[in-house]
Structure 1
């Protein structure tokens, strides 16, 4: 391995150390001929810059830490792609982890603090606002994604899930449904409880409508399928005539169960609406109505806020809230 230093490269190319640094980090500031001369010296000396040492001197790495509930959920996959696209524009890399347990969430935050990340984006699994405030106080910008920051002490980028839940159920009510089931797991998750709050408010404003909460172990296709099978097995008189699923994965599972049952028609017997509008929603055997979140834009906006706070630690935290959009398909209206 070469032991050549930046100073060796500068001497070989006949330029200053500062010019070599600009070629490595900001080549657009250097004349093309000079860039070519420095690159030739780098190749001749087999120079490899020590990024770890450079980051240590700068006090911050060139990576962003992203922690989400489940990167296997297409919503979070799209959000992560938005994060990655915006980060790459700035020459930053993204390290992604799942916060599917408080212990794992805490371990990632320990790692990101130890590595002096350029910033941290997180969808919290537990009540960790104090921990996030400490990261911010240590000069590591933090932005909460897909959930509003409690107390507004840390920046966040989220969707108005109360409005989204209301929108979903108002749509079901508008097509004549009155016995509505909300199929959801982990009601302690803020996004889920907000969607339930919006759904409850919509039902309360329509006389004769009811809202049943069907709790499931997790927000997955399998849990949705089990819930759908249980609903389909009920006698028609006590079966809901509409289902609002807490996310599209759950909705896909419910739909699979209803279709496999054979004698329950979607949407005639049970209208079905999901949440997130992932790609699978439009591609389902009965295309799913859903509440759309701008997942990539949420990720891109979160990175932009993080970059601004990294450049100016005096900036006050901001709360950016996107509005949901109703997407109507064949699962609620023929």
Structure 2
């Protein structure tokens, strides 16, 4: 049986071999109509690109890796959709990778993406540091951080101003007279946890409240289950809090479930604020007050920054999106 090659695709589509190569490796450089003819020829002929040959040639593929810490998180799903919509329109494909905030798991995915000659990576790092960034560059991977990377000006990043968002949440609770507040977050080494704790403390300091007003609970992950466990921990404490600020909505929904099981009234007995403003926040048993951030727009912006790396005159940029508090019945 004869093997279908790139020459056969070029002949059927009526284009040069170089054009077919561009469609496979740099589709953004090919006019939409021409690209469609080549893709139709590939489909009709059943042509399968030789990945090994493309790797040896050093050409960069059309795949973009989206590496996040929990694909179950609706906010990260919104980011993924925003990135995928823009990249698909540019002829790119997206490989979604879930790390569970495990450095070893993240490393395996990054190694795979490098082996596949991925066009780049959009990533929420398990542990952001200079050595880690140098390792990505050594692999030849372009990268855009989904992280508030203010100390890394030599890489593009997209994030939300989590300090300001947390500040608005705690300020909101203080304005309603709460003096015993809990802050529940996921792993404390993550940038999101650090920034949201800093914003909480900033609000307390500005209001002249002592730091002891805030009780910090570190959960194992940003999930509903971990929120339930954190809620149980708070409700069995000797001194009850009257309000809870959670570093994401899944944690907040878990706390709310625990409160309901304990026959507590929300917000009369316990006020709850979340973060991210996912779709289910507004439809919870008691609609959840939450800090809104635009995950879809953030994902699109990250993808655009990655594509911009190939354009003349590209400069690294750090885009920080402003959050806003959405008040609902839970407070």
Please, what TM-score do these two structures have when normalized by structure 2? 0.87
**Equivalent-residue separation in structure 2 for 1:21 and 1:294 (angstroms):** 37
1:91 equivalent in structure 2: 91
**Equivalent-residue separation in structure 2 for 1:12 and 1:194 (angstroms):** 56
**Equivalent-residue separation in structure 2 for 1:79 and 1:12 (angstroms):** 39
1:3-44 deviations in whole A, cap 9, x for unaligned? 244434666787765677789864645599xx59x968984x
1:225 equivalent in structure 2: 228
8 Å CA contact 2:181–2:245 kept in 1: the answer is yes
SS where residue 309 of structure 2 aligns?
helix
Structure label with greater radius of gyration: 1
**Residues 1:143 and 2:144 are matched in the alignment:** yes
SS where residue 315 of structure 1 aligns?
coil
Write the mapping of 1:1-334 to structure 2, written as runs, cut at 5 A. 2-8=2-8, 17=17, 26=30, 28=32, 43=44, 46=45, 48=47, 50=49, 52=51, 53=53, 57=57, 59-100=59-100, 101-136=102-137, 139-148=140-149, 150-208=151-209, 210-234=213-237, 238-262=239-263, 264-312=264-312, 315-332=314-331
- Structure 1 unpaired stretches of 5+: none
Deviation at residue 162 of structure 1 after TM alignment:
0.6
**Equivalent-residue separation in structure 1 for 2:241 and 2:280 (angstroms):** 24
SS where residue 207 of structure 2 aligns?
coil
- Structure 2 unpaired stretches of 5+: none
Deviation at residue 131 of structure 1 after TM alignment:
3.2
Q: Return closer, same or farther for 1:56/1:240 CA change in 2, 3 Å cut-off.
A: same
8 Å CA contact 1:141–1:310 kept in 2: the answer is no
Matched length: 323
1:150-190 deviations in whole A, cap 9, x for unaligned? 32221100011111110110111122212111012311111
Q: Return closer, same or farther for 1:90/1:232 CA change in 2, 3 Å cut-off.
A: same
Please, what TM-score do these two structures have when normalized by structure 1? 0.86
8 Å CA contact 1:83–1:302 kept in 2: the answer is yes
